[in-house]
Amino acid sequence: SQDISRKPGVYIFRNNFGDVIYVGKAKNLRKRVSTYIRPSGHKKKDPKLRSLIKSIADIETIEVRNEQEALILEAKLIKKYYPRYNIDLRDDKRFLLIKLDLKAPYPRIITTRLKKDDGFSYYGPFPQVSALKETVRFLNDYYSLRRCSTRIPGNKDREHCLDSIVRNCSAPCENKITQKEYHVKVNQLCELFAGKNKQVIEHLEGRMHKAAEKKLFEEAARMRDMLENIKFISVQINRSFARARIVRDNKPDKAIAELKEYLKLENKPNKIECFDNSNLSGQMAVAAMVCFKKGRPSNKDYRHYNIREVKGIDDFATMQEVIGRRYSRILREGRELPDLILVDGGKGQLSSAIKALEKLNIKIKKYLPKDSFEKSLVSDIKKSEKMIAIAGLAKKHEEIFLPGLSKSIRLQRNSYALRLLQHIRDEAHRFAINFHRKYRQKQISNSILDEIPGIGEKRKKILLKEFGSVNKLKKMSVEEILIRAPGMGEIFARKIFEHLNPV
């Protein structure tokens, strides 16, 4: 850790396979990173942290100028890599962004927490969320941008504007500005966000100093917060990189041999398949399966599943469904079953997986109680029959649950076998989370229809049922929308077309 800078920055931990497993920020990089790699005190740390520490094989540090830059960069990297161990920032709390539809006739500033693949231009994130509304208000006034939500404002929109807005607006509703002139102002705003326009910053700094001289400290603080918001996205984050390697030989062959011994298997578990579920408060449930061959990921064999039968939050039923679907297909196609099935979870998930396998008449390797663990196999299963080993790996204490045993077993923390199981389980979790995020993004994209005035749930369902997705609907002309969804009517068909295909 002596090569690591003492300056603020972000640190990235990777495992032996190069996967990002944790991202953190620090005021002093060397001091913070040393708390992870220093052996003393590891035994006192909680199991999850000890598991993270043992998985670290590679450390990358990114030096920045201050803590706030580190905070922004940390958030960006977490959203990019979605590391397994980043519990605190793994929810949907996000910094606010500004988005602009530069293809619109008269673009307006919109704030959002979610960046979509919708053709809009996004700027941010903004560190001072509480001051962002004030910042947007100032930018609207400074560049004389409109605030109304109508795509092309007209006289009716002018009637509903407040005097305070009208006073600073360029008023495209009254044709006081052409589209070309309006876009010049929008381009100046974009240049500000790109760090090419310093006039606004100088203007705000002047106002801040004047307010401070007059002892109007609240006003000065508002100017300061707006400046901070704009500066953080308009100034490129200065970064310098450093890497450190912690030599931990993974030795997949040794890990496979240890697993065979610890789990009393007749053959080496050269093919292992692992399952994990993911959902959002019981909605949009999905599952994922990863496959490892000879201790290494076999990406081409990864699979993901949309859950069809289970409603609400029921991880056990979800596990039963996905295991049943996976291996019923394997049997139908006459393909080889894996040597070991691993499920992310404890007794409940394991029992659900076993039920699904038993329904398919797949023989499962079972164990006698722990006091006769050496004998291993239940007597009514013949050795000549193909048996599938199955285990559950619970996160809390890295306990392994096996069929027939009421209590879990624990492998030595430094064993290659446990490291391999952890890596497989973590890879399944990562794959499930990534698939769930993409699935959620797709569902969110459908909500674009909610932005069209007059399109309620009923019409939205008709459109999605008929066209399948918003992307397909975008390709349709007004006439095609009318023909395939006649209940829309010409007015709504035109509204839909214009909203999805801005000029």
β 110-112/96-100 pair status:
antiparallel
How much is the pLDDT for 232? 66
Report which listed range, 2-6, 38-42, 182-186, is most confident: 182-186
Burial level of 244, CB count in 10 A (0-12/13-18/19+)?
Answer: middle
The count of C-alpha atoms lying within 13 angstroms of the C-alpha of 7, restricted to the half-sphere facing its C-beta, is 15
Write the pLDDT tens digit of every residue in 174-230: 888 999 999 999 988 888 887 777 888 888 889 899 988 888 888 888 888 788 777
Q: Using 50, 70 and 90 to split pLDDT, how confident is the model at 282?
A: very low
Q: Would you say 24 and 74 are in contact if contact means Cβ atoms under 8 Å apart?
A: yes
How much is the pLDDT for 321? 93
SS3 152: coil
How much is the pLDDT for 75? 76
Distance CA 484, CA 206 (A): 59
Q: Using 50, 70 and 90 to split pLDDT, how confident is the model at 301?
A: very high
Inform me whether the pLDDT recorded for 444 exceeds 60: no
Inform me whether the pLDDT recorded for 91 exceeds 50: no
Distance CA 403, CA 410 (A): 15
Query: CA 112: distance to chain centroid?
Result: 16
Distance CA 35, CA 42 (A): 9
Inform me whether the pLDDT recorded for 450 exceeds 50: yes
How much is the pLDDT for 163? 61
418, 424, 388: which is closest to 403 by C-alpha? Answer: 388
Q: Using 50, 70 and 90 to split pLDDT, how confident is the model at 378?
A: very low
Report the amino acid identity of residue 456: G
What is the DSSP annotation of 443-455? HHHGGGGGGSTT-
Report the amino acid identity of residue 252: P
Q: What is the mean pLDDT of residues 70-86?
A: 79
Q: What is the mean pLDDT of residues 404-425?
A: 87
Q: What is the 3-state secondary structure (H, E, C) of 106-147?
A: CCCCEEECCCCCCCCEEEEEECCHHHHHHHHHHHHHHHCCCC
SS3 463: helix
Q: Would you say 126 and 97 are in contact if contact means Cβ atoms under 8 Å apart?
A: yes
SS3 394: strand
Query: CA 305: distance to chain centroid?
Result: 18
Burial level of 242, CB count in 10 A (0-12/13-18/19+)?
Answer: middle
Give percent above pLDDT 90 in the chain: 21
pTM exceeding 0.85: no
Distance CA 387, CA 461 (A): 47
How much is the pLDDT for 275? 94
Q: What is the mean pLDDT of residues 322-334?
A: 94
* Inter-CA distances, 101 with 122, 126, 151, 452, Å: 9, 19, 11, 15
| Beta carbons within 10 angstroms of residue 420's beta carbon | 24
| Beta carbons within 10 angstroms of residue 262's beta carbon | 16
Write the pLDDT tens digit of every residue in 228-256: 777 766 655 555 556 555 444 558 899 99
Q: Using 50, 70 and 90 to split pLDDT, how confident is the model at 127?
A: low
